Copies of this chain bind each other. A is one copy, B any other.
Amino acid sequence: MEPGGVRDTYERLCEQLRGISRFAEVLGLLSWDEQTMMAPRSSDARGKQKAALSGALHEKMISQELGDLLDKLRAGENQRLIEAELNAYERANVRDAIRTYDRKVRMPAKLAEYEAELFSRAYRVWSEARKNNDFASWAPVLKEVVDHVRHVASITKPEMKPYDAAIDDYEREMSAERLAEIFGGLKKELQSLLNQIAEAQRTNPRKLPKELDNGEMWDVDKQAAFCKEISEKLGFDFSRGRLDVSVHPFTGGAGPDDVRITTRYSTENWVEGIAGTIHEVGHARYEQNRNPEYAALPVQEALSMGVHESQSLFWERCIGQSLEFWEWALPIARKYFPHLENVEAQDVYYRLNIVTPSLIRVDADEVTYPFHIILRFEIEMGLMDGSIDIQDLPKIWNEKMQHYLGVVPETDALGVLQDVHWTGSFGYFPSYTLGAMMAAQLYDAACREMRDLKTQVRSGEFAELNEWLASKIHRKGSLFSSLDMLLEDATGQPLNPEIFVEYLKAKYRGIYDLQF
């Protein structure tokens, strides 16, 4: 390339990439609207609009023009020039543009069409199967999904083992082998902690004020106003986003300047609304803080699902389920719910951190949650390497539930059929627990690096913490290519599951007066 050629090619690449992002942002808005605003019988039309836009987006992502630019930038003889002329963020844009493009072009159009049809059919069949508690009707479609995921992996990521390829969609540079090692250590430690907690609960049960769970009193409009005030104080920027209600809470919208979070309110259980809101605010801060210098470019994007989950869990659990948080937030809650007058922050703290082995993943507490994930990870691994036969899934599921948590679902609907993920998102589950471990590690570092984080939380001061996370994680985006590199940069070491275990031990030692 001539002098300046790299810069020029890079700028033309960015123009293409920004166009791609704008389309993706619009699809994000369509999806948000569908789940929050759209009338029920508009859904067929919405499907056609999304298909038209996705088709156009796909064409942009595999365009000849984009391919030609990337070919120039990946040519061996230009690497020295790239190193010299582009900074690290710019090089990350090139790296990720190549990564995405290669995977897209390797996927034949026919196969992508089949995938869209399969996943949509899988969703329908699974929904019905769960409703009717009918695993047999779901099994053949699950088989098709597993076969398809293996096939796609072999085509788009031929250098990886199938399950590694699936995991890589959600967690870059992670592998089943490493996860098996991490989860192997984790389950031993947590099993022991769980046993001690169960023993403490039996011998010394806690009593909570009945005002905390009085269904009659949790007016939905007041919950919404309370959640809005807390979101704002935690740092959610309402000048560039919204908070609404949807059946399943999510963070979405149309890019970092238009981030839309949702939650849901139950009149019987006030915890769900506020915990869900804080969780989504964590996701939203990551999105709203994306590096404005690289707007609409790959390096600005979240690194992985695990990192995203680390941000939501950091806020939901490390902050929102802490005693000091409720010392600050309870007086605010009392403005909306005067009947909390005689409730203490300590009561809410205990209420939020009850540990109970249960059947449903999404309802699990932070100690039992990893077992739900480990169980699914082990099953996914077995499905991908063929060592588990799909017909045996309900039996295996129930055995593992018994083994890890001592509870067994009475129906498959409450067991192996509970999650939507296997209708298309194979390899996603591990990210939840990777996120939890990463959150604890970041919290540990924040506690060490910031002047008395707990005092700040107790005073409702979140600015320094927000800036700490923004500089360590949010603005870094996809600069590094793995969770480990990002954590090493932020905390001085790659992912270290022991920090998570220590965090849990220290917390629940206090809550349950444990003797270790």
Contacts and interface: CB of A to CB of B under 8 A. Distances in A.
A19 B52 contact: yes
Contacts of A240: 39, 41-42
Interface in A28-48: 29-30, 33, 37-42, 44-46, 48
Interface in A276-305: 296
Contacts of A40: 239
A51 B18 CA distance: 12
Interface string A33-71: 100011111101110110111001000000000000000
A242 B39 contact: yes
B257 A45 contact: yes
A241 interface: yes
Nearest to A51: B22
B255 A39 contact: no
Given A29-B33, A30-B26, A30-B29, A258 B39 contact: yes
A25 interface: yes
| Interface band, chain A | 35 or more
Contact of A26 (B53, B241, B255, B256): B53
Contacts of A41: 237, 239-240, 257
Contacts of A114: none
Contacts of A349: none
A55 to B, nearest CB: 8
B239 A45 contact: no
Given A23-B52, A30-B26, A53-B26, A37 B254 contact: no
Given A39-B258, A241-B39, A258-B38, A49 B30 contact: no
A437 B458 CA distance: 68
A256 to B, nearest CB: 8
Interface string A15-27: 0001100110110
Nearest to A38: B258
Contacts of A49: 22, 25-26, 29, 254-255
B26 A242 contact: no
Contacts of A52: 19, 22-23, 26
Given A33-B33, A52-B19, A25 B39 contact: no
A23 B54 CA distance: 11
Given A22-B49, A37-B37, A258 B42 contact: yes
A119 B513 CA distance: 70
A44 B242 contact: no
A29 B19 CA distance: 19
Contacts of A51: 22
A490 to B, nearest CB: 28
A44 B239 contact: no
A53 B241 contact: no
A258 B25 contact: no
A337 to B, nearest CB: 22
A19 B26 CA distance: 16
A245 to B, nearest CB: 13
6 contacts: A23-B52, A25-B45, A37-B37, A37-B242, A42-B257, A49-B254
The 3 closest A-B pairs by CB, nearest first: A22-B52, A42-B258, A45-B257
Given A37-B37, A39-B241, 4 more contacts: A39-B258, A42-B240, A46-B254, A56-B56
